[in-house]
Structure formats: structure tokens, C-alpha cells
Chain A
């Protein structure tokens, strides 16, 4: 048995990877909205939180785990769609500060309403898989059934999104609407619907992420469940490039791993400081993100 497998470095690497895919998913959901509508959705954590309460709340009515997950994802699609139609539609083409203010306000409202309806007390979600670390030669290995499930879910979501955008008619229309809305309309693409769909997809991805985060024994589901994760996901999106789905994932995983090492080898108080440092340095070196191809964006 190779002792490296159960070493501190390997454990940190795998722990960081597990956290990182979650940050990557949050970043991906931000990128989906940014690419299609040019809006930075500060309520990207709160909208899926409501969907998760709605879906996973059905556990109390004796619905089993997976149907609850399905309901939560459908709720995510719905909340994303309604938000775009009702709240966001009027913000296109307005000064950049307008959507920021509106979405921050929406975040506060959603968290306050969730606290009023479901209380701020953490609600433990059952984990579908064991979160106990595997053992190799009697020593803990940095993965559990649940963390493997997290990683596979993230890979699955990314693969589905990539395939949708690359190989389907719908994906072609989504990409065209984001890049060239006017030309797309002249070709018969219903651009308004595509923008709505972008928000629906983004919130559904966010809901899957929220369920993963809230299923963690230490977190549970609270109205603020996504606040911390959103911050790291936001940094990953900015570092990777708001235009780049691949960049968001790579940056998310990298940040997850770096922060895990910082937390273990330095001090857990240094994690946020390091994350901010990564953000500042990357913005100074590559303000458009590490993976954004062009430096100019036509608006």
C-alpha cells in the first residue's frame, strides 16, 4: 500500500477537489446568466436556496429523497424563469449598477422571507450516501461515498450543459442569443425565451449545488446556506472569466484545492484572506479572467 494515498497532502488534495467542484458549479451558474444576459446575479445563492426548501421540505411529508430532489430542481427552473420574466426583463440595457442593486436587494428579500417561513434553524438533510471517509490499510483516505457522489454530480452537470450547448439546436440558439441577439431575432430565434431559459438552467444548476452543500452534515439547510459558497464561487467565476464555463470549473477546483491547503497548513482564518488575495491578483494580471479569449466584449 502506497502511504502517499493516505498522506496529509493527498487528503487535502481530495478534500479540496470535493469543495472545488461545488465552487465550480456555483461559478458555472453565474457564467450561464452572465453569458446570456450580461447580468451578475448576486441572488444566485438565494434563489436556489428557496427552491431547495420547497423541494426538500417535502421530506416532512414522507416523500422519499430522490423525488424531493426532482421537485427542488423543477422549482429551481421555475424560480429562475419567473425571476427573469418579472424582475430582470426590465433591466436589460440599463446602467450596470441597476441589476446589481436589484439582485442584491432580491438576495436580502429572499433570505428574509425564507427565515420568516422556514426559520433560521439549520435543517439537516439526509445524505443519500455515507459521508464517512474511506479507509485504506486502516487509515482514512480523503474520499467518502458522498464526496465521490458530489464530484460525479458536478462532472455530470457540466457534461450535460456542455452537450446541450455544443450538440443541440437549443444550445445553438442559446449561444447565438447571447452573442448576437439582434441577428438571432432576424433569423427567427425567440431570443426572449432563450434568455429566460438561461436563467432557468442557471437556477437549476444552483439548486443541485445547494442540495449538495446542504446535505453536508456540518452545514444543513439554512436561509444563508449558500452565502459562503457563493463568495468562493463568485471569486472562481471572476478568476476563470465570466465568459468561460470551462474557466469557471477549472478556477473553482483550483481555488478549492488551494484553500484546503491553506486551511490545513496555515490557519483556517487565512482562507478568506487567501481567496480575496487570489481575486485581487488575478484581476490585476488578467482582469477579464484567465480563460476569456478576447479582451473586448461587444455590448
Chain B
């Protein structure tokens, strides 16, 4: 479980997150929704140690994450697929995966086979440079690279960005399957609120750095006001 309490993060004079308190249940998908500039990406970057908060705490199963280095947080089992996917274009598909597998003690071949079974297109393109993959394939590679490290928590930042609706639907389906089959704890940051709410158990809505809703995904999805004012979901 991830417990976040009174988290405040600033960029100079601008507060990107203000007094954010929330809990993320183990083995569940928590969607973090909101418009551009709501603080969603900052929240993920603070959890994974890339950004230091001004105040507040983040606990992963009781272990504090604030002021830990990102590489140590990754080694504690937190996988972060950043916005824009962060695949290394100069590396082949397999080199990207080998890099992801660096911190696990599990045999490399076992991990690679597992990911190629989960994402067959990556197996077909294992020797290709990642720069040559399509947007959807890169997203799969970014996910596979995080998963091969066998994380217990997966932070996904806008995985649907730039993807066709059908690819987004497949991706959301995959995220849902992974979460239930591996008991993964997922924090899913999305602007595409309807896709995210379809698979999420829980949802947190951020607006200008503050939490404006924190409830079951079905409740958030049914709240007309939230849909209209914060999620831009107009019927």
C-alpha cells in the first residue's frame, strides 16, 4: 500500500501539489485524473524520487520514500513508465528490456520470454532499434521494460497519449489483466478519463495541485459535476 500524507511540491514560487493526502490499495488500480497542470505527473515523479517535496510523506508498505534516490526506489519495487514512454531509441528492443531487467535476480531469459509472450510484437522486433517502433509498440516496450524488473507498484504516466482509440482500449485491457494476474498496485495517470475510469478501482481527481475527489472509480464516473468541471467529459 502507498500512503501519501500532506504532500506539497513546489517549482520555485509555484506549488504543483498542495497538501495532497491519498492512499493507494495494494493490487488495485488507482486512476489519477485532471486537466493539464493539475499536478498528476508531478505526483508520480515525487513518488519515484525524481522530485523532492517541500513537505509531507510517502510510505510504501510503511517504508518512507521521500528523499530516497530514484534508483533506490526502483529497487524497492516501484516501476515508473514516464510520460512520453522514455524508451531509449538508440537501443534495440532487447537492450531496452535487458536494461529493465538489471535490478532483478530472476534469470534474464525467463524475463524476456515472459515479456515476449505478453507482448508478441516485441519478440518479433527484438533486434530492431526502439526508435523505429510505432507509438503503440513503444508504449508496450516501456511497460514490458518496467514489468521485467518484477515491480510491486507500477506508475503509468499518460500511457494512452498519442495512441489511436483502439490501441488505447487494448492497452487499458492489458493493464487491467496485469494488475489482477500479478497483484500489481497501479497508479494510472490519465487525461483520457473515461478510458481510465473503465478499468480503475479507485480514482483521485486533482485540480491545480489539490485533491478535489478521492473515491471509488464508479462513484467518480457517476458524479456529473466532476465529469463536467474537472474531467472535461461532456455528454
Contacts and interface: CB of A to CB of B under 8 A. Distances in A.
B102 A169 contact: yes
A187 B100 contact: yes
Contacts of B71: 185, 188-191
Interface stretch (B88-96, B113-121, B160-168, B172-180): B88-96
A185 B71 CA distance: 5
A184 B103 CA distance: 11
Nearest to B72: A188
A148 interface: no
A180 interface: yes
A172 B145 CA distance: 14
Interface stretch (B74-82, B181-189, B195-203): B74-82
B64 interface: no
Interface of A: 169, 172-173, 175-176, 179-180, 182-191
B69 interface: yes
B98 A188 contact: no
B70 A186 contact: yes
27 contacts: A169-B98, A172-B102, A173-B99, A173-B102, A176-B88, A179-B88, A179-B90, A179-B91, A180-B86, A182-B50, A182-B86, A185-B49, A185-B50, A185-B69, A185-B70, A185-B71, A186-B48, A186-B50, A186-B82, A186-B86, A187-B102, A187-B145, A187-B149, A188-B74, A188-B103, A189-B71, A189-B102
Given A176-B91, A180-B86, A185 B74 contact: yes
Interface of B: 48-50, 69-71, 74-75, 80, 82, 86, 88, 90-91, 95, 98-100, 102-103, 145-146, 149
Given A172-B102, A183-B86, A187-B74, 13 more contacts: A169-B102, A173-B102, A176-B88, A179-B88, A185-B74, A186-B50, A186-B80, A188-B71, A188-B74, A188-B75, A188-B102, A188-B149, A189-B102
Contacts of A183: 82, 86, 88
Given A185-B71, A186-B74, A186-B80, A172 B86 contact: no
B3 to A, nearest CB: 21
Contacts of A191: 71
Given A183-B88, A189-B71, A176 B99 contact: yes
A181 to B, nearest CB: 10
A173 B100 CA distance: 10
Contacts of A189: 71, 99, 102
Contacts of A179: 88, 90-91
Nearest to A169: B102
B33 to A, nearest CB: 22
B107 to A, nearest CB: 13
Contacts of B149: 187-188
A13 B82 CA distance: 52
A36 B178 CA distance: 36
Question: B48, B49, B71, B146 — which one has the most chain A CB atoms within 10 A of its CB?
Answer: B71
